[in-house]
Structure 1
Amino acid sequence: MPEYEALNADESADSTPEQTLTERSRELIEWPKLLDVLAGSAHMFRARELALKLEPSDHEEHIERLQEETAEARRILDESGDIGLGGLIDPRPDIDRAELGGMLVGEELSRIGGVLRSLWEAREAAHALGRETPMIGTIAAMIPDLRWLDERIGEAIDDRGNIKDSATPNLGRLRSGVGEKYRRLATHLERFIARPKIRGAIQAPVIATRGERLVVEVRSDQRSSVPGIVHDVSNTGQTLFVEPFDAVELCNGWREAAAEVTREEEKVLRRLSGLISDRAGDALMAIEAAGRLDLVFTRARLAHSMRASRATTLPAGDATALTLMNVRHPLLGESAVPISLSAGPGFRALVITGPNTGGKTVALKTAGLAVLMHQCGMQIPGDPLTEISVFNGVYADIGDAQSIERSVSTFSSHLGAVVDVLEEADDRSLVLLDELGTGTDPEEGSALARAVLDHLVEHCIPTIVTTHHRAVAEHAGASPGMQNAAVELNPETMMPSYRVSMDTPGRSYAMAVAERLGLPENVLDRARLFLSPEHSATEALLIRLQRERADIEGQMAAAEAYSAEAEATKRDLDRRVRAVTEAQDDLVEETRAELQREAEDVRSSLRQIQRQASQERDLAVVRREQERVRRSLQRADRFKVTRPAESEKIEPEAAPPPPRPVTAGDVVEVRGLGAQATVTEVNADGSANLILGNARVTLNIAQLKVVTPSEGITASSESRITMSTPMVDAPTRELDIRGIRAIEVHEQVVAFLDEAALLGLTSVRVIHGKGTGALRDATREALRLHPAVGGFERSEQAMGGDGSTEIDLL
């Protein structure tokens, strides 16, 4: 017996330490597997380490900060791309060795320089985004600037780890000397081998190396023919590797030069290793900060690949502990069926019942993983409507935990785990219990399950349990603080739907599955007789509820499809409206440009009229030019564009009253010119004699429009692009341009002079004020260029002096 106890003690000492409840629970819900998946999304070696050791936070502010970091990183990935940090080899062992005084070789130094360069590039990439991602910028700012160290390394070491000739002032010269001495030695040996009296003793006409000495291959039976030092013998003993005596000094010179080069190279390596040793702390800090930065992007990469969303963190004391909306199990990929369930409001314990393989255990694991993911700053593969409280622990008992070695049954294992959970959990914990009360007598097992549920609810501990016991589901339906949920099979195919239906207990489907598998009908009938009437009635009710729910879900799916179709149609209509609006805007711009060209044509025609009238003094010519201008204006009128406001209702315009006949004494408007004239006589041939300014003209009555005192211009509700010549009520001899900019003077003065010349005025005045003289100078420059101006001078003092200019027209 003592020997047995001693052996037992030794085995106990060597055994693996017992897992804590937290570790065991995380393993049961497959948290380590998820961390492996997360680490696979990391680019940098340090980020992979951090991902595998990720610990959920139980502080709301910290969780929100982690979530915001992930959200910022995901925006960067979606909009700007990744920040790099991939393909780096961990240089920390090299840095540690340098810090202890070791000398690093060129490859190690080059590797460290490359890592420092990549870390700085990642920092710059993060900083380039500015204020849009402040948290990412804060983490990136923790990477110290070690570019100078990378530059020092790069000055001496190339990308392949070779020391450059320029690393020291002497290194290049020393290496050249070594090469020269080697070539001299090799040439000497080649000539030695070619000597006629030596040629017969040579085994092969090649130069070999032994112990960093150049040697020739000599036949062993001809040893005496080649005086020298034997450095080695072949395996067969047939060949001797001999350094001829007359080559020893040359070889010594070569080796001494090579040793000097080695010493010079060691100086370079020790100097750079010393720099790294001096800044080892900064280098390790840069690696740590970059690892944390890449960990944030690792979470974002995983969220992107899973099409995940940011969940809402519920405040402490919220009536709801957990709400999952279409959340997929993160380890099952795209094939995972979305799960929706909640713990609250109004209840703390959710009891899920239903058949085996229906998805109850997957629902438990999904809930546990979603909580841990959220509290680690990871996004959840589900809808953004998911809400999760902050838990101080997730405690689970899932699966068959029997142990043959320890003689522990399934029931005992489950019950032992439940005991541990009840001791550890509090109102800030999430408890997940699979098949509560299973593995023993159904009546006693269900009684224990109901008692455990009562205890958890009394202590306000958020709980999700699965069970096969109908009595437990009935207890949950009748007890405050609890609610039922169900997983179901398709009634036709008997295949699981993997969906969780809230607020209803699940069916066992035992009879339906037995019937589908071919159990004899007489056996099924006898089994049904053994069922209690209450059980049969309950099962019938659940079947009816399942069918009604399926109908409702079908209607909802159809409604969602119609809604999606309507939304797609709306988007298409919006796109078409935008296209029409853009086309209309383009048309407006084209029309505006055309009108500007027409206006310029009219202006040119008016100037032509002025020049011809002044030169020829022929009214018929003026009339022809006026008619041409009128036709131009009519062409321009074709380009009117009307764009009524969408909210306005355009009423039909009332028909205009019939025109009154033109009579002597009427003030009329000359159509096409926009100028007013006085009728002196109406002729029998349909023409009228007019006084137009200082000129007398005869025009067709059809070109005249009677201007009545009540007639005016009314504002239209339409937005029009139109053009007309100025409406002149009476000849005016003055133009006041004070207050405008000098750049606008030319256009206004030219238009004023055009109108004055057309009206037959012989002198006009432009009032420009004194000021700085800019308006005066611009005015007189325009007068010098205008063809209708005969001369100009400053006004008399009484009329404004230097503040105005008198103009004589031709």
Structure 2
Amino acid sequence: MYDDSLHDVISESTAALEIPGVLEEVAAYAMSTPGKNEVLSAEPQEDLETVRFYLDFVSELKELISIDGEFHFPGLIPMDRLLVRLDDPSVILDSEEILAISDLLYTIDITLRRLRSLEDRYPLLRDHAEKIVPLNEIRGRILKVLDEQGQVRPDASPGLQEIRNRTRSVRDRIRKRLERTVQDQELSRIVQEDYITLRNDRYVILLRPEFKGLLEGIVHDHSRSGASVYVEPLHVVEFNNQVASLLDEERVEIRRIFQELTGHIRSAREEILQDLAALVWLDAFQARARYAAATKSIPPILVNEGFSILGARHPLLLASLESEVVPMDVVQAPETLATVISGANMGGKTVALKIAGLFPLMVRCGIMVPAREGTRITPFMRIMADIGEEQDIRGRVSSFSGHVLKIKSIFDHVRPGDLVLLDELGGATDPDEGSALAMAILDELIARGARTVVTTHLTHLKAYALSRTDVKNVSVEFHSVTLKPTYKLLYDLPGESHAVVTAERLGLPDRIITAARNYLDRSAGGSSQLLESLRIKLSEIETLRDSLERKGTALQAELDDVRSRREDLIEGLRREAVELMRKAEKEITDLQISLKSGKLKSGREPRQALYNIRQDLQEKLGTPLNREVAPPDVGSRVKIKSLGREGIVKNILDNGRVDVTFGRVTVRADTEDLIVLDSGSGKKSSSKMERIGVDIPFANPQWEVNVIGHRTDDAIPLVDKALNEAVLSGLPSLVIIHGRGTGRLKAAIREYLAQHALVKDFQPGDPQSGGEGVTVVTPISE
């Protein structure tokens, strides 16, 4: 547990490494506002097992999304305040709030059903389903009371139904009396229109102002022009009073119904909060998976010492999209305790420094990192950094003093295994004194067992790194021809600041540049020329290595392609040959039957002809037509790969085929087309009696298809495919989940179904299965 000063150091370091900005980028991939807020509030985890779990969970989601699409959360909206209100037992939710709860319960239901339907290859997602409590009973109660627009149903309760029936009866009597009044010939000159309407929930008719003396009544309103008045005749006043009384009863009954519904919701408040948290958490981690897919991020290998971040791209540079981000390898071997990065300004020193600290923080937040496979990261639990300008004019703190104060606070808390990042160590003061202080700081950090990465321009500090085996020099590459940084890191070589080259590029006179180079060589004892020569050679070697790697990768890809095409060609020919043999076997069997019946005389032995055909084909292909695959046991549960269907092995034939039963249908399949799921009794049938079966190209049918979140142009092909598969597979019905939304997707799908030749009938789902949010289709029977 942190004390306050340590917490401040860690928090300031985390902010300096820009993890809040990365969280904003990830949060943009959340489907809901609560999911987005959950990402933004993420904190680096301190338990290593939790970090591993987070990364594994994101990996499962990333794979699932790539294969089967994303989770959608249509009813996931901020509900904290609504649910907190339920703490007050006097609170009664209104129809809009109850409908919002109903939408949330629907989202909970569809999410839970999908999680439970996942294959065993997604164990963490399947386990997440256990955190969600089914609440269909409460949603069922809500749907019995409210329709999809939030209006109270007439049959919401027996009492309400009885009140509305009575109200309807009284209103019918009022209308009939008023109709007789407006149609009375004696009153025709004062009746403005044959028009009955409501004012203040009371039935009135429209008369001329001079109606007085001809009809007794109460004036409720005047038209804008003043030419008409809305009058309630006295002979319907009592009936209108009855309607008003019944409406009061109705309001009381609806309040009672809402109070009862609120009570049921209140009793399940904890379960709703639990389910809400589970959905928000799932959305937040799906955002991580979607971000990983968009940025081509990977889960790193977690190690205990050092780091090797390969092909790293800073997430905020990726987000800027201003130019292509150059990948860099940021490496500190386990035996290296400090890394000194030097080189030209704007060459990538600080980016490399930040990547060394940012990527472990991302991993601890469950976020994959934009790097290459093989990246290895220590998830440092304490990262302390001094990055950026520390000058405070008002506080009379110079830039140098600010850095020293920050480093002092780091030394107050640093311990073995911590990661310390120091930008421009020893800068903002006299170079000799700054170098001496920087070397002393590195000595102390190494002595305390901390891992350190620093950036510098100080020559003495580069020499310090050369003199120690546990400190490594790294430079940012500077192209000798273009005189610009390449943003690549060169290891085991100190970098030059290239101040003279930069000044020359910016146009200082040649005489000044020449004099500067002379002063530089004399002060460095000619070492600058030697370093430049070494750097050029190293750069040439690096370029050659990259070229060889690219050529090797290209050759390997070509070789893999040739092998793949060869295998595909052989496999295609083999399958064609097998099909030809099957046809030949059938023809020969027919011929044998004809011979036995006496319709044909015996000629050349048919089986010998078949054998000769088989031998010729095998010699031509250079591979057996049938692979030697051990048949499964009778009773084994198997999956036929080509059909995507599971069944039970009923019989094993002599020709390398087996009979597999799906319900009432038996399919004959090759043993090489089978995946054994569960072994049977081990008894193999040797009977040559053939059951009547068929080779049916089953589709892989779905009982339901979810198109929520799809545009109409994308949704219609998915519906068409599912409908075709349902008909081919003999499904009695198909459920299309399209949600309510604006209603446009629902209307487009139903219009399409109305014209589809394979549709016998379709209708909305019942309230328990989604109501107007789903359409249940009855396909035609084959």
The percent of aligned pairs where both chains have the same amino acid is: 28
Q: Is 1:92 paired with 2:80?
A: yes
Structure whose alpha-carbon radius of gyration is higher: 1
SS at the partner of 1:26?
A: helix
Matched residue type, 1:266: R
User: Which of 126, 131, 144 is equivalent to 2:120?
Assistant: 131
User: Which of 141, 161, 179 is equivalent to 1:152?
Assistant: 141
Partner residue, 1:75: 63
User: Which of 577, 594, 605 is equivalent to 1:587?
Assistant: 577
Task: Give, in angstroms, the shift of residue 273 of structure 1.
Answer: 0.5
Q: Which moved more, 1:473-482 or 1:78-87?
A: 78-87
- Please list the CA deviations of residues 146-201 of structure 1 after superposition, one character each: whole Å capped at 9, or x if unmatched: 11111111122122211111211232343244345446546666776788998888
Q: Is 1:433 paired with 2:422?
A: yes
User: Which of 488, 500, 515 is equivalent to 2:504?
Assistant: 515
Asked whether the equivalents of residues 83 and 126 of structure 1 are also in contact (C-alpha less than 8 Å), the reply is: no
Counterparts of 2:605 and 2:160, CA distance in 1: 93
Q: Is 1:29 paired with 2:17?
A: yes
SS at the partner of 2:45?
A: coil
SS at the partner of 2:297?
A: coil
Matched residue type, 2:378: S
Q: Is 1:163 paired with 2:152?
A: yes
Counterparts of 1:473 and 1:559, CA distance in 2: 31
Give matches, 1:497-508, under 5 Å.
497-508=486-497
SS at the partner of 1:155?
A: helix
Task: Give, in angstroms, the shift of residue 284 of structure 1.
Answer: 0.8
SS at the partner of 1:138?
A: helix
- Please list the CA deviations of residues 558-607 of structure 1 after superposition, one character each: whole Å capped at 9, or x if unmatched: 22232222222222222332233220453255257537746875897799
Q: Which moved more, 1:53-62 or 1:369-378?
A: 53-62
TM-score, scaled to structure 1:
0.69
Task: Give, in angstroms, the shift of residue 241 of structure 1.
Answer: 6.9
Partner residue, 1:479: 468
Partner residue, 1:418: 407
**In 2 relative to 1, CA 274–639 (structure 1 residues): closer, same or farther, beyond 3 Å?**
closer
Asked whether the equivalents of residues 96 and 280 of structure 1 are also in contact (C-alpha less than 8 Å), the reply is: no
Counterparts of 2:393 and 2:173, CA distance in 1: 80
Counterparts of 2:355 and 2:6, CA distance in 1: 26
- Please list the CA deviations of residues 246-296 of structure 1 after superposition, one character each: whole Å capped at 9, or x if unmatched: 443232122112112212212221111000111111111111122223333
Counterparts of 1:522 and 1:61, CA distance in 2: 63
Asked whether the equivalents of residues 602 and 633 of structure 1 are also in contact (C-alpha less than 8 Å), the reply is: no
SS at the partner of 2:309?
A: strand
Task: Give, in angstroms, the shift of residue 243 of structure 1.
Answer: 5.0
Q: Is 1:331 paired with 2:320?
A: no
Counterparts of 2:512 and 2:518, CA distance in 1: 10
- Please list the CA deviations of residues 107-135 of structure 1 after superposition, one character each: whole Å capped at 9, or x if unmatched: 21121122122113212212222422222
Q: Which moved more, 1:223-232 or 1:268-277?
A: 223-232
Partner residue, 1:641: 616
TM-score, scaled to structure 2:
0.71
Asked whether the equivalents of residues 85 and 118 of structure 1 are also in contact (C-alpha less than 8 Å), the reply is: yes
Task: Give, in angstroms, the shift of residue 455 of structure 1.
Answer: 1.4
Counterparts of 1:646 and 1:465, CA distance in 2: 64
SS at the partner of 1:308?
A: coil
Task: Give, in angstroms, the shift of residue 402 of structure 1.
Answer: 2.2
SS at the partner of 1:347?
A: coil
**In 2 relative to 1, CA 96–186 (structure 1 residues): closer, same or farther, beyond 3 Å?**
farther
Counterparts of 1:248 and 1:507, CA distance in 2: 100
Partner residue, 2:384: 395
Asked whether the equivalents of residues 32 and 76 of structure 2 are also in contact (C-alpha less than 8 Å), the reply is: yes
SS at the partner of 2:490?
A: strand
**In 2 relative to 1, CA 257–502 (structure 1 residues): closer, same or farther, beyond 3 Å?**
same
Asked whether the equivalents of residues 75 and 103 of structure 2 are also in contact (C-alpha less than 8 Å), the reply is: no
User: Which of 43, 50, 60 is equivalent to 2:48?
Assistant: 60
Matched residue type, 2:144: E
Partner residue, 2:669: none
Partner residue, 2:366: 377
**In 2 relative to 1, CA 230–345 (structure 1 residues): closer, same or farther, beyond 3 Å?**
same
**In 2 relative to 1, CA 463–631 (structure 1 residues): closer, same or farther, beyond 3 Å?**
closer
Asked whether the equivalents of residues 155 and 167 of structure 1 are also in contact (C-alpha less than 8 Å), the reply is: yes
Q: Which moved more, 1:208-217 or 1:23-32?
A: 208-217
SS at the partner of 1:492?
A: coil
Partner residue, 2:746: none
Asked whether the equivalents of residues 136 and 293 of structure 1 are also in contact (C-alpha less than 8 Å), the reply is: no
Partner residue, 1:357: 346
Q: Which moved more, 1:232-241 or 1:516-525?
A: 232-241
Counterparts of 2:455 and 2:161, CA distance in 1: 77
Counterparts of 1:500 and 1:56, CA distance in 2: 28
Counterparts of 2:71 and 2:97, CA distance in 1: 24
Task: Supply the RMSD in Å over aligned alpha carbons.
Answer: 3.8
Asked whether the equivalents of residues 139 and 292 of structure 1 are also in contact (C-alpha less than 8 Å), the reply is: no
Partner residue, 1:39: 27
Asked whether the equivalents of residues 401 and 414 of structure 1 are also in contact (C-alpha less than 8 Å), the reply is: yes
Task: Give, in angstroms, the shift of residue 310 of structure 1.
Answer: 0.9
Partner residue, 2:640: none
**In 2 relative to 1, CA 606–42 (structure 1 residues): closer, same or farther, beyond 3 Å?**
closer
Asked whether the equivalents of residues 521 and 527 of structure 2 are also in contact (C-alpha less than 8 Å), the reply is: no
SS at the partner of 2:526?
A: helix
Partner residue, 1:306: 295
Asked whether the equivalents of residues 311 and 386 of structure 1 are also in contact (C-alpha less than 8 Å), the reply is: yes
Task: Give, in angstroms, the shift of residue 488 of structure 1.
Answer: 2.6
Asked whether the equivalents of residues 588 and 606 of structure 2 are also in contact (C-alpha less than 8 Å), the reply is: no
- Please list the CA deviations of residues 690-743 of structure 1 after superposition, one character each: whole Å capped at 9, or x if unmatched: xxxxxxxxxxxxxxxxxxxxxxxxxxxxxxxxxxxxxxxxxxxxxxxxxx9785
Counterparts of 1:345 and 1:269, CA distance in 2: 66
Counterparts of 1:349 and 1:204, CA distance in 2: 95
Q: Which moved more, 1:392-401 or 1:581-590?
A: 581-590
Partner residue, 1:248: 237
Matched residue type, 2:14: R
Is there any run of 5+ residues in structure 1 with no aligned partner, and where?
1-16, 613-624, 649-739, 746-810
Counterparts of 2:88 and 2:336, CA distance in 1: 61
SS at the partner of 2:472?
A: strand
SS at the partner of 1:484?
A: strand
**In 2 relative to 1, CA 590–177 (structure 1 residues): closer, same or farther, beyond 3 Å?**
same
SS at the partner of 1:381?
A: coil
Task: Give, in angstroms, the shift of residue 372 of structure 1.
Answer: 0.7
Asked whether the equivalents of residues 32 and 283 of structure 2 are also in contact (C-alpha less than 8 Å), the reply is: yes
Counterparts of 1:498 and 1:437, CA distance in 2: 23
Asked whether the equivalents of residues 208 and 215 of structure 1 are also in contact (C-alpha less than 8 Å), the reply is: yes
Q: Which moved more, 1:365-374 or 1:38-47?
A: 38-47
Matched residue type, 1:332: L
Counterparts of 1:277 and 1:373, CA distance in 2: 39
